[in-house]
Structure 1
Amino acid sequence: MFFCTKKKKTVPLSRRLLDIKGKLTKSLYSAQTYDFDDLSCEERTIVGHIKQTTGLLNVNNVSRTKAYLDFYRQYPEIHWAFLGHAVSRNGGWNMTDLKGDLLSRLMNEKKQEEFFEFLERGNWLIFQDAYPQFLLYGESIRRKRGLFHLLPHFGISKFMEVIWEDFWYRRDSYILAMAQVVNEQSYLEARMIQNPFYMEKVLHTLEFVLQDLLSFNQILFPSLKKGRKTVLTGMTIHQFGSLHERIILGRRLYHLLFSDRQRHQDILIWCMIQPHSGSRKDYWPQIFNDVNEGLPGPLQIRRLRNCRLIRNSPRLYSPRLEYAWPNMKHRPAEPGDWFDDCSVVRYLIENDEPVDGKITGDYCETLQNLELAALAKKTVFI
């Protein structure tokens, strides 16, 4: 028996996006070369300064996360800077979880190091690609002329050169933000997700535990409500290995941060008053502490019930990043431009799908599952 399924209606590209697609097509087949020696003295100085500044700030997750927020506060029209900041906070929390009270009891040191290297490399790669774009935009503002022809000298995709040129004249923050989501996730795809080392050591393992156990699959956006109570919104990652799903997640996270003005302000205010340390104490000091209050060795008793500490229980240890991991020296980013198909412009079609951001229940369940696994001395990795 055969069943007919209704074909999903394809949304046509707007005139604006058709124009962008035409420019992307032209760029894709352009044979233009980029020689540093052909730059003027002024342009060489700009490129050198941006590379130096990016390197100084790309030290660890804490320095990157702060840099994103500082830039967004100066240039609030660059929405991805705030999205990058909020997601980077989660990256830091995931890094310190590896040395915290629960995951450290379920993973041996070798596996902890492999997961940390994966998270840190991805965080480093995105910053060294995204932040030069921000600094070049800042230089363009100061000099009152677009400097985006310099982007290839930072190894940045042709895709983003077209997008930045469009933004310079049309100031569409949504299209720029969505293009940056597409760019950064596509940039990571070959370098991280399809990398044989990470596929073997991390992703094949990660796919098993993401769904039910570890907290790597939840992105949390804390916000400050009346009464100074911290409230969590966010989303859960599904199919982490799928480029398409990661881009769609990025779009939904963007809507969580920007579709509701009051929610945006609540999250932004929290981020401004709470410096990022890497410890989950940043948002839930009633449950987490960056000082270890518990006893060494196996977890003996249950501490959590309904996302609250049982009376007289020590808080869960969640260290600051500086005490959990040393700064990592990175090899240079792998060369190459991911952009080879103009159909990615369809990701830039504005989408107003509703997102409620309810995450507290799922996150509490994750914590309780982790604690139960630790209490059972369940060896997830050996």
Structure 2
Amino acid sequence: MKIGFFTQMERLIRSPSLRIIRKQLMKKLKQSGKTAASEADLSDKDRTLIRHIQERTRRLNLNNVTRTMAYFDYYLNHSEVEWALLGHMVSRNGGWSMTDLRGELLSKLLSDTEQNHFFRFLERGNWLIFQDAYPQFLLYEESLRRNTPLFHLLPHFHVSAFMEVMWEHFWTSGDRYLLTMALVINEQSYLEKRVIQNDHYQSTILGTFPFKLQELLRLNQILFPYHKGLNKGAGQAVGMIGETLRHFGSLHERIMLGKRLYDVLFGSPEHLRGVLAWAKEHPHTGSRKDYWPHVFNDVNESAPGAPYKKRMDDCRIQPGSPRLYSPSLQHAWKNFDHKEAEPGDWFDDWKVIDYFMKDEEKGDGDIGHEYCKTLEKIEFAVIAKSAIF
């Protein structure tokens, strides 16, 4: 993040916490290159713990649905780890993007090859984040059980030295915001070279016309459905908050998106209660029917081979028209076997802590109207393609 040197120093001087973190991060940088203690040097109890965490993470990292629900279950037990809920809601969006590829609209715009490329791109990122973040959560959980911090074991899960400092700080300070921002920075930085700058994904996804078109049309909305009010039941009104990612290929933009999404989710007690209530009542399936059954269905209602006609009208399906097909993940994609994560620690500059400073300007998160316009844009593109071909 580019800011003036003196501005950065002024902020650090005003924040005792950031001064402590800066000192610890600089110490870690000086120690970079030093190898962690081998498992042979650990106690039997710690070696058993490492194997248990690795196995549990592997078992839950099966697909987007298992990952997404693992985050939510963890948050329900450890609400102080706020990233777990943020990660759960963002991962829901990842699942919806995966099933969109096989759904009513995008399947008419993308070839089978493009659909597969996009799925593998989304799935790789979703898998990588989980196998990095979830062991951190389990290690924190075990630290609570033993009543002693175990974050010196993080290198055995190939977690960045940056997070070792931040978990240690959280253990003593209890600062939920700083931990969440650290995890946002860490996970997006972790993805940068492994996915965003990866030559394969650059050629098959990020550099392609469909992806550029998607960014041009602002189709990268992250949606957080929530219950409005305190009433429960089938008739409960569902609202929509969220943010739009303007440039997926920018690490800075993705981190700033994470900050805005945190503010949207945790900045309003009403929204937080509503999101939690909705998530508890709607287990993640990957189908957009989960939040808008009046628009989407996980059963294809369209007549086979029939040309697509306009259906959307102010976020509702026109009378007599079939709902948009949005399959569940299990019906859209098979589980995918991943190769091991690429080695390496992204952390090489303590100045990333500037992202910890809270921003004065915040959006209200109101995204419902923008999302309706997005659906209409995609629908128009489908109709236009049908007219041409």
Q: TM-score, normalised by structure 1?
A: 0.95
String of CA shifts for 1:12-43, please: whole Å, max 9, x gaps: 11121011111011011115322121111111
2:361 paired with 1:353: yes
Residue 297 of structure 1: how far off its partner (Å) = 2.7
Are residues 156 and 378 of structure 1, via their aligned partners in 2, closer, same or farther at CA, if it must alter by over 3 Å? farther
Q: Among 185, 209, 215, which residue is 2:213 paired with? A: 209
Q: How does 1:25-36 map to 2 (within 5 A)?
A: 25-30=26-31, 31-34=33-36, 35-36=38-39
2:254 to 224, 246, 252: 246
Shift of 1:214: 7.2
Which of 148, 159, 163 lines up with 2:162 in the alignment?
159
Within the alignment, does 1:78 sit opposite 2:81 as a pair? yes
2: CA distance between counterparts of 1:20 and 1:299?
59
| 8 Å CA contact 2:218, 2:246 repeated in 1 | no
Counterpart position of 2:232: none
Residue among 169, 174, 184 paired with 1:171? 174
From the superposition, tell whether residues 345 and 8 of structure 1 become closer, same or farther in structure 2 (CA, over 3 Å): closer
Q: Secondary structure at the match of 1:305?
A: coil
Picking from 266, 278, 290, the partner of 1:282 is 290
Shift of 1:351: 2.9
Query: 1:222 matched to which residue of 2?
Result: 225
1:112 aligned residue (112, 115, 131)? 115
Deviation by residue 1:26-82 (Cα, 9 ceiling, x = unmatched): 011115322121111111001000000000000000000000000001000001000
Give 1:369 deviation, angstroms: 1.2
2:316 counterpart residue number: 308
In structure 2, the partner of 1:19 is: 20
Is contact 2:132–2:157 with CA below 8 Å preserved after alignment? yes
Q: Distance in 1 between matches of 2:303 and 2:111?
A: 18
Q: Distance in 2 between matches of 1:40 and 1:63?
A: 31
Are residues 1:180 and 2:183 paired?
Answer: yes
CA RMSD of aligned residues (A): 1.9
Equivalent residue letter for 1:303: R
Which whole-Å deviations, capped at 9, do the CAs of 1:254-280 have from their partners, x for residues lacking one? 001111111111111101111000000
Query: In structure 2, what is the equivalent of residue 91 of structure 1?
Result: 94
Deviation at 1:109, TM superposition (A): 0.3
Please show how residues 334-349 of structure 1 align to structure 2 within 5 Å: 334-349=342-357
Query: Any conservation in 2 of the 1:299–1:374 contact (CA below 8 Å)?
Result: no
Superposed, 1:314-333 pairs within 5 Å as 314-333=322-341
Further displaced range: 107-116 or 359-368? 359-368
Residue equivalent to 2:268? 260
Q: Which amino acid aligns with 1:283?
A: Y
Aligned-partner Cα distance in 2 for 1:79–1:241: 25
For the residues of structure 1 that align with 2:365 and 2:303, how far apart are their CA atoms? 36
Change (3 A) 1:91 1:379: farther
Residues 194 and 342, structure 2, Cα contact 8 Å, conserved in 1: yes
Q: Judge which range, 64-73 or 365-374, deviates more.
A: 365-374
Q: TM-score, normalised by structure 2?
A: 0.93
Q: What is the SS of the residue equivalent to 1:307?
A: coil
Q: Would you say the 8 A contact 2:308–2:382 is kept in 1?
A: no
Shift of 1:306: 1.5
- Separation in 2 of the partners of 1:57 and 1:342? 32
The correspondence for 1:299, drawn from 296, 304, 307, is 307
C-alpha deviation, 1:238, in angstroms: 0.7
Consecutive unaligned residues of structure 2, counting only runs of 5 or more, are: 230-234
SS in 1 for 2:11: coil
The amino acid that maps onto 1:370 is I
User: Quick check: 34-43 or 188-197, which moved more?
Assistant: 34-43
1:373 counterpart = 2:381: yes
Q: Would the aligned equivalents of 2:218 and 2:244 in 1 still touch at CA under 8 Å?
A: no
Which piece of structure 1 moves more, 256-265 or 320-329?
A: 256-265
Q: Contact 1:214/1:370 (CA < 8 Å) preserved in 2?
A: no
CA 94–214 in structure 1, closer or farther in 2 if over 3 Å, else same: farther
Give 3-state SS (helix, strand or coil) of 2:385's partner.
coil
Give CA deviations for 1:176-212 in whole Å, capped at 9, x if unaligned: 0000000000000000000011011001125412234
Shift of 1:377: 2.3
Distance in 1 between residues matched to 2:315 and 2:203, nearest whole Å: 34
- Tell me the number of residue pairs that the alignment of Structure 1 and Structure 2 aligns: 375
Q: Which residue of 2 aligns with 1:48?
A: 51
